Structure 1
Amino acid sequence: MKKLLLAAALTALLPITAIAAQADSTIGSNVNENQLDNFYVAGNLGQTQYRTDITHRNSVFQNIRFGWRWNDIVGAELGYAYLGRRKSASRFAETSVNSRAATLGVNAKYNFYEGFFVTTHGGYLRSQRINTDTYYLTGSSLKRTSWNNGWYAGVGVGYDVTRNVSLALNYDNYRLQYNHPDDAFRDRVNVAAYSASIEYRF
């Protein structure tokens, strides 16, 4: 709970700072007086790292987000993230956990110097985790799917290539759970995501 409150506080801090620092009509470098034009789509590609001792904890990270920002500063977002597959193996079996999440949250962007900016976002996620046990001796497998609630938060730094296009480097954290009624296995894990992103503003 403390981590969740800290993430929420950090997410809320940047929009407040940005609005206070840019109270005039020349906010950032991408201001558009028509607020309907402040919709954007962003895509991320990178690597996830499960914060666990299980082997093969790194995997591919893919994320797409749709959102809107008031005066290109603060707004809401909706997204989908593929968080990859982690694996662990013993002499007799292999276990893999495949994770993805739908996200709903707030986002903020602050241009601090000639097209350079910092971003932050965070909010609620609904994760799907597929736990698959494969048994070497029999060649059989057992698959179970768990849906759970969680949270996510992240920061980034980037540059506005044009009025409509931005590039950035990002760090995100996803808090996931696994809890299936037919499976004794229970799990809570933080998944770190390191990625590059491109954003297009309409």
Structure 2
Amino acid sequence: MKKLLFVTAAAFTAFAAAGIAAADPVVGSNVDTNQLDNFFAAGNLGQTQYRTDITHPHSVFQNVRFGWRWNGIVGAEVGYAYLGRRKSTGPFSETSVNARAATLGLNAKYNVYDGFFVTAHGGYLRSQRTDTVTNYLTDGSSDHRSWNNGLYGGLGLGYDVTHNVSLALNYDNYRLQYNHPDDRFRDKVNVAAYSASIEYRF
């Protein structure tokens, strides 16, 4: 996670330097000189992988983000990510974890060649994680819910299909925490997300 955040920060620095150094505002087909036209909406669909020792670490990943970029390069974003439900089964019980997060951070998009671009984003997240334990012997279950702060970051590679529409492949990492309501235990886990995305710029 630290490596990902370092790479994301480095990407932001490079994009910002490129934006400041560029005398010509036309960097790629995503750039609009009217700053009010640089708002965007993006959606991701893919798969998550919980980086922990469990029997079923994969699940569905869904993400929606809204943001703005100065000169189409660097800006702010807000979003909501569904990180899926992973399961861990034992001889007498099953534990499932359902996680989602609201995000607030920075984003960058830079055209490198003939409509192809790279992206980076990262920032703060507020996660909601629900742990459900099902006992096979008693056929009963219990839910424990926790809200916590964390960090997220990601990188992507894509192509501008039109002036307003882009497609991309992405890797993201979400740092989640969990505190049991009775303080029985605390848990930290990285969730990797691999996805395809579509972005529309207004």
- For the aligned pair, the TM-score class normalised by the smaller chain equals over 0.9
Q: In the alignment, what sits opposite 1:29?
A: 29
Quote the Cα distance in structure 2 between the aligned partners of 1:156 and 1:189.
22
Off by >3 Å, runs of 4+ in structure 1: 1-5
Quote the Cα distance in structure 2 between the aligned partners of 1:183 and 1:63.
31
Q: % of aligned pairs identical?
A: 74
Cα distance change, pair 10–55 in 1 and its aligned pair in 2 (3 A): farther
Q: In the alignment, what sits opposite 2:41?
A: 41
Quote the Cα distance in structure 1 between the aligned partners of 2:129 and 2:31.
40
Are 2:103 and 2:125, in contact at CA under 8 Å, matched by a contact in 1? yes
User: Displacement of 1:8 after TM fit?
Assistant: 5.7
Are 1:7 and 1:153, in contact at CA under 8 Å, matched by a contact in 2? no
Q: In the alignment, what sits opposite 1:150?
A: 150
Greater CA deviation, 21-30 or 182-191? 21-30
Q: In the alignment, what sits opposite 1:121?
A: 121
Q: Is 1:82 aligned to 2:82, yes or no?
A: yes
Quote the Cα distance in structure 2 between the aligned partners of 1:153 and 1:199.
18
Cα distance change, pair 136–191 in 1 and its aligned pair in 2 (3 A): same
Q: In the alignment, what sits opposite 2:62?
A: 62
- Count of matched residue pairs: 202
Are 1:14 and 1:120, in contact at CA under 8 Å, matched by a contact in 2? no
For normalisation by structure 2, the TM-score amounts to: 0.94
C-alpha RMSD of the superposition? 1.7
User: Displacement of 1:7 after TM fit?
Assistant: 5.3
User: Displacement of 1:27 after TM fit?
Assistant: 2.4
Residue segments in structure 2 that go unaligned for 5+ positions in a row: none
Q: Deviations over 1:181-202 (max 9, x none)?
A: 3251321010000000000000
Q: Deviations over 1:27-57 (max 9, x none)?
A: 2222212111110000000000011111100
Quote the Cα distance in structure 2 between the aligned partners of 1:113 and 1:4.
24
Cα distance change, pair 152–5 in 1 and its aligned pair in 2 (3 A): closer
For normalisation by structure 1, the TM-score amounts to: 0.94
Are 1:11 and 1:153, in contact at CA under 8 Å, matched by a contact in 2? no
User: Displacement of 1:25 after TM fit?
Assistant: 2.5
Q: In the alignment, what sits opposite 1:19?
A: 19
Quote the Cα distance in structure 2 between the aligned partners of 1:4 and 1:45.
21
